[in-house]
Chains A and B, each alone.
Chain A
């Protein structure tokens, strides 16, 4: 699955999703040819690959942090932030007016904010917007923005940048 398609899927989620977590892990960290499938044993979403003997085997994550191996990118801010490089930037925008947070009533403030993640080549940003309750969505917003930034970076690399 293309990283931008994955980001679209993350943005559309209304809550954490273990399958999407596995798809992200597979797309970013697993070797080519690895795939996500539900385990017939416990129903968990796992990453498999085809071994040298031609048989399916579980993919073994090596060299990844705890959050990258086991974290839920769609639920945990800690896990989501491991998808971004520490040198990247997150740009938060908000409506110009304070009133935009509560269109008519102070007691019903609703956030609308743009989250732009900026990575190499640092000239373009991957943007995800939040409208409504940001608390439950911030991890997914960060994850989606990181995926889009990685997609942008991949395109840039293919085009011979940097």
Chain B
């Protein structure tokens, strides 16, 4: 969990999110907050409040900290604390682009292949089940490495013969995993 690139300072004096907004939207503030741009910064530079996205949607949640006018829109750096991404926001192409740009800046190595699962694998549903996702990726989840190990432990041979990794119907890791070479 030690990663300087994504460390965010503690919020100074941020207020609690409005319970009315949270209840109406179904957004659970305990799962995190999202702030893209502080639309109230001009009039109330010292005020912490809900912002709006580029597409004008009101944000659910609160910024943890707001230094002057947050024009960076979305950042994993020190200005804005981002821990959730509301699906409504994700429908805006510009929001997504900005989100992806900020994400790429914070994680320049990009995504790492984690697991490759054959749809017909009898364990596939278990590997994708809500309980599994919650266990590994939910709050206080065990994380991707643990999920990788879990996938490996759940793997079964596609033909039941106990052959090497190439024949496994579920696998983990990078280039060696996946359908290359099996369906050609």
* Residues of A near any B CB (own CB < 8 A): 11-14, 77-78, 81, 84-114, 117-118, 120, 122, 131-138, 142
Choose among A11, A78, A114, A131 the residue with the greatest number of B CB atoms under 10 Å from its CB: A131
Q: Pick from A13, A104, A114: contact of B83, CB below 8 A.
A: A104
Main secondary structure of the interface of B (DSSP, over half): loop
Q: Which residue of A lies closest to B182 (CB)?
A: A122
How many Å lie between the Cα of A11 and that of B91 in the bound state? 8
Closest to A14 in B: B87
Q: Tell me whether A100 and B114 are in contact (CB under 8 A).
A: no
Contacts of B144 in A (CB 8 A): 94-95, 98, 101
Chain A's nearest CB lies how many Å from the CB of B126?
10
Contact present for A95 and B143 (CB under 8 Å): no
Tell me the smallest distance from the CB of A26 to a CB of chain B, in Å.
22
Q: Hey, which bits of chain B sit against chain A, CB under 8 A? A: 1-3, 5-8, 26, 31-32, 76, 81-88, 90-91, 99, 103, 106-107, 109-120, 124-125, 128-130, 133-134, 137-141, 143-145, 147, 177-180, 183-184
Q: A89 and B117: CB pair below 8 A?
A: yes
Question: Could you list 8 examples of A-B contacts with CB < 8 Å?
Answer: A93-B111, A94-B112, A102-B83, A103-B81, A113-B111, A122-B184, A132-B32, A138-B130
Q: A134–B137 contact, CB under 8 A?
A: yes
> For A97, what are the chain B residues with a Cβ–Cβ distance below 8 Å?
3, 6, 107, 109
CA distance A138 to B117 in the complex (A): 14
A109 touches B138 (CB 8 A): yes
A104 CB contacts on chain B under 8 angstroms: 6-8, 81, 83
Instruction: With A81-B125, A93-B114 as known contacts, state yes or no: A98 contacts B143, CB within 8 Å.
Output: yes
